A and B are shown apart, each in its own frame.
Chain A
Amino acid sequence: MHICTVTPISKTVGAARIYPAQAIPYPTGNPDLTIEKEDKRKRDIVLNALNLLLQ
């Protein structure tokens, strides 16, 4: 399960399961948010990514 920001690169090299990340320097975070909101955002990204493992 690949979590990355520039998803076309991931597609070019043949990855089957790709989920878009938050941003290049912080794929599973966001320093502009409060800690609570950042945790929520991280949970969304990683859980959505994990769920793609079931498909």
Chain B
Amino acid sequence: MKKIVFYTNQFFGQIGGEDKAYTEPQFHEGAVGNAKAFDGKLDDAEIIATFICGDNYYVENMDAVKNFIKGQLKDIEFDFFIAGPAFNAGRFGIACGDVCKFIKEEYNVQAITGLYEENPAVEMYKKDIYILRVGKSAAGMRKAVDIMAEFTNKLQRGEKLGSPTEEQYYASGKRINVFKEKNGAERAVEMLLKRLNNEKYETELEISVYEKVEPAPPLKDLKSAKIALCTSGGIVPLGNPDHIPAATAKIYGMYDISQKDRLSEGEFESVHAGYDPVYANKDPNRVAPLDLLRKLSDEEVIGEVYPYLITTTGNSTSVADATRMGKEIAEKLSEDGVDGVILTST
């Protein structure tokens, strides 16, 4: 019987939601939380231990969490490691990628996770570990568990893996030798002909597309600069008049702050469902620091503050929607003569 160690977060480990996101790492014997979903799906293997850690705690204390895991695993022998799946969750995705990379390097065992294609952790960790392609949200849990369990079984049996597309993992960029009937030139010409005929073809070498954003030229000085305040932390006027969604937003709001010295409790609130809003509701300037920008303007450190706060919730927002909103906002700000932007993210 092979032994598997599991990692999950406070939510899937059934400790709690965002209010428990600072939960310190915990060690449990056996399968706990969503690790149980793997019961009966793993051939000749069992989950012997589960680590649970709050998402905020992990990404803000990565080394401390790994030290804790190392300490707990000191006298434990295991053959395999599974983390997540984390779907499109940013912090949880990074935790899964980071812990798997660590386990693989430290213990020389395979460590896998499952992420949605837009999860930023895919780009960060796909070269180091196997990351399975899973759905966007926990609604896809059952399917994700099936994919991950089958992949685990395959690796445990020592079977040869097919291409990343066949096995549903993100290509890690490694090249391996394979034998084909036709040589490369013939295959390339065939692909080209298919492409010219608008037929479907499958590339043998995916070219990575990296986001490249040309940096705006530096400002000459701050003293004459008009600075806009934007946030993806979901700070809106109390009652959320534009109904900005708590997650997967496709819209943003613009709110007149020209007459305000600060964003006051009870006047503004956070509608972001991806972090515990207690501290932001108590003092919204902790997310959108209008109070300080006003002071800096009074002190003539900056020229002026743009009269609108621009807000959305950057919580599982698709890259396509985020890019579109960013372009629209940038165009508007540029039309209004804004020189620089402070964009805060939670």
Interface positions of A (Cβ within 8 A of B): 1-6, 8-10, 12-17, 21, 23-31, 39, 42-43, 45-47, 49-51, 53-55
CA distance A42 to B124 in the complex (A): 29
Interface positions of B (Cβ within 8 A of A): 21, 56, 59-60, 90-91, 94, 120, 123-124, 210-216, 218-222, 225, 227, 233, 275-280, 282-283, 285-289, 291-293, 296, 301-302, 319, 322, 339-346
Residues on the A chain within 8 Å of B214, using CB: 16
Q: In the bound complex, do residue A26 and residue B279 qualify as a contact, i.e. CB atoms below 8 Å apart?
A: yes
Q: In the bound complex, do residue B218 and residue A53 qualify as a contact, i.e. CB atoms below 8 Å apart?
A: yes
Q: In the bound complex, do residue B211 and residue A14 qualify as a contact, i.e. CB atoms below 8 Å apart?
A: yes
Given contacts A6-B91, A25-B346, 5 further A-B contacts (CB under 8 A): A5-B346, A24-B91, A29-B286, A42-B292, A53-B219
- Take A1-B340, A53-B225, A54-B219 as given contacts and tell me if A10 and B287 are in contact as well, using a CB distance cutoff of 8 Å: no
> Would you list 12 pairs from A and B whose C-beta atoms are within 8 A, ordered by A residue?
A6-B91, A9-B94, A10-B345, A12-B124, A24-B91, A24-B346, A27-B345, A28-B286, A43-B292, A50-B222, A53-B339, A54-B219
Closest CB pairs A-B (n = 3): A29-B286, A16-B215, A14-B211
Residues on the B chain within 8 Å of A23, using CB: 56, 60
Q: In the bound complex, do residue A31 and residue B213 qualify as a contact, i.e. CB atoms below 8 Å apart?
A: no
Q: In the bound complex, do residue B222 and residue A53 qualify as a contact, i.e. CB atoms below 8 Å apart?
A: yes
Smallest CB–CB gap between A47 and chain B, Å?
Answer: 7
CA distance A54 to B225 in the complex (A): 11
Smallest CB–CB gap between B264 and chain A, Å?
Answer: 14
Q: In the bound complex, do residue B21 and residue A24 qualify as a contact, i.e. CB atoms below 8 Å apart?
A: yes
Residues on the A chain within 8 Å of B296, using CB: 46-47, 50
Smallest CB–CB gap between B170 and chain A, Å?
Answer: 14
Closest A residue by C-beta to B270: A25
Residues on the A chain within 8 Å of B215, using CB: 16-17
Closest B residue by C-beta to A14: B211
Residue from A3, A15, A29 whose CB has the most chain B CB atoms within 10 Å:
A29
Smallest CB–CB gap between A54 and chain B, Å?
Answer: 5
CA distance A54 to B220 in the complex (A): 6
Residues on the A chain within 8 Å of B213, using CB: 14-16
Q: In the bound complex, do residue A31 and residue B90 qualify as a contact, i.e. CB atoms below 8 Å apart?
A: no
CA distance A23 to B276 in the complex (A): 12
